[in-house]
A and B are shown apart, each in its own frame.
Chain A
Amino acid sequence: MNLLEPIAERLRRFRNYVRITEADEIARRYFVMNAFDGSLTMLGVILGTFLARVHDPRVVIGAGIGASLAMGMSGFFGTYMTERAERTRKLKKLERAMVTNLNETVWDNASSFVSFWAALVDGVSPAAAAIVAIIPFLLAQLGWVNFNSAVALSVGLILATLFFLGAYLGRVSEENAPLSGVRMLLVGLVTGLFIWLISSGGTHGSALILVALG
């Protein structure tokens, strides 16, 4: 009980920082936007690899880990720099209004913490979404499923992630969550179709692209 108390106290403080700076909204936005990015990037990697007739799970795992690491790093550092700049600007504006230095006060601590927290959400969400998509290929590498099943499983997981993200947005906006999930799912399906048309190339694909472009 006593061991958990400092952790609970710290969590309370962090929650307070998020509430003070109203950062929950921006973190929610980052989470959905970047998890969506991660999922669609992996859909591109997986379908592109499959259509290029590369049937080696190690290639997908390597490309997937590389992409998720790059997305994670880009998300973390990009957001940290941006959020820090925005939060510092806001803190300075508040200092001008208060005609006082707010160093070491709750606003100063909250601004620093929230920049890091938003960056963490932004970095982890695309990487996590990408890793979910890689799992079936790890199973294929272990010999538990064949490559084609891994592709189908992975695409299924990506579509499920997209549905979950859409449903989550539906819940945030207090609208119909399943409908919002289906909408996001459709974006995934259309993206998949485009990747298939472009990657499969050839006359069949080109003709379909022309039809699609109207």
Chain B
Amino acid sequence: MTGSPEVRVTKMVLDVLKPHQPSILELSKLLGELDGVSSVNTVLREVDADTETVVLSIEGPRLDYDSVLDVIEQCSASVHSVDEVSVEKVDTDD
């Protein structure tokens, strides 16, 4: 028996402005530790005197945007734009 389908976010690409520290390595690791995240790909796009712009590509079976945002903001970074989102419809059991 199948229940109502659930729409899950499986990929999001974010344009993020961050200070040089914490490094993209740490930011990526922290995001990778979140539930529902299976991979994080971070690309450095631009470096300024105090900040840098990175593009985060986060994938997983069930991504939670609020948790991702929490980690980013905790690292003193901010999301400039959400550039790409993939969702999947999954049938869930009651």
The residues of A with any CB-CB pair to B shorter than 8 Å are 16, 19-22, 93-94, 97-98, 100, 102, 105-108
Q: Does B61 make an interface contact (CB < 8 A)? A: no
Q: Does B17 make an interface contact (CB < 8 A)? A: yes
In the complex, what distance in Å separates the CA atom of A20 from the CA atom of B20?
Answer: 9
Task: Determine whether the beta carbon of A20 is less than 8 Å from that of B49.
Answer: no
Task: Determine whether the beta carbon of A16 is less than 8 Å from that of B48.
Answer: no
Task: Determine whether the beta carbon of B51 is less than 8 Å from that of A105.
Answer: no
Which of these, B26, B50, B73, B74, contacts A94 with CB under 8 Å? B50
Which residues of B, 30-70, contact A by the 8 Å Cβ criterion?
A: 48-51
In the complex, what distance in Å separates the CA atom of A21 from the CA atom of B20?
Answer: 10
Which of these, B21, B26, B76, contacts A98 with CB under 8 Å? B76
Which residues of B have CB within 8 Å of A22?
A: 21
Q: Does B13 make an interface contact (CB < 8 A)? A: no
Task: Determine whether the beta carbon of A106 is less than 8 Å from that of B50.
Answer: no
15 A-B pairs with CB atoms under 8 Å apart are: A16-B26, A22-B21, A93-B50, A97-B19, A97-B51, A98-B17, A98-B19, A98-B50, A98-B78, A102-B76, A105-B73, A105-B76, A106-B22, A106-B75, A107-B19
Which residues of A have CB within 8 Å of B48?
A: 97
In the complex, what distance in Å separates the CA atom of A22 from the CA atom of B48?
Answer: 18
In the complex, what distance in Å separates the CA atom of A105 from the CA atom of B22?
Answer: 11
Which residues of B, 71-86, contact A by the 8 Å Cβ criterion?
A: 73-78
Which residues of A have CB within 8 Å of B74?
A: 105-106
- Asked whether A20 and B21 contact (CB < 8 A) given A105-B73, A105-B75, A105-B76, the answer is yes
Which residues of A have CB within 8 Å of B75?
A: 105-106
In the complex, what distance in Å separates the CA atom of A19 from the CA atom of B48?
Answer: 20
Task: Determine whether the beta carbon of A16 is less than 8 Å from that of B22.
Answer: yes
In the complex, what distance in Å separates the CA atom of A100 from the CA atom of B18?
Answer: 11
In the complex, what distance in Å separates the CA atom of A152 from the CA atom of B10?
Answer: 74
Q: Kindly list 6 other residue pairs between chains A and B, CB separation below 8 angstroms, not including A16-B22, A107-B19, A107-B76.
A: A94-B76, A97-B49, A97-B51, A98-B50, A105-B75, A105-B76
In the complex, what distance in Å separates the CA atom of A105 from the CA atom of B73?
Answer: 7
CB-nearest residue of chain B to A95: B76
Report, nearest first, the 3 A-B pairs whose CB atoms are least far apart.
Answer: A97-B50, A105-B76, A107-B76
CB-nearest residue of chain A to B19: A94
- Asked whether A19 and B21 contact (CB < 8 A) given A93-B50, A94-B50, A98-B78, the answer is yes
Distance in Å from the Cβ of A150 to the closest Cβ of chain B?
A: 49
Which residues of A have CB within 8 Å of B17?
A: 98
Task: Determine whether the beta carbon of B76 is less than 8 Å from that of A106.
Answer: yes
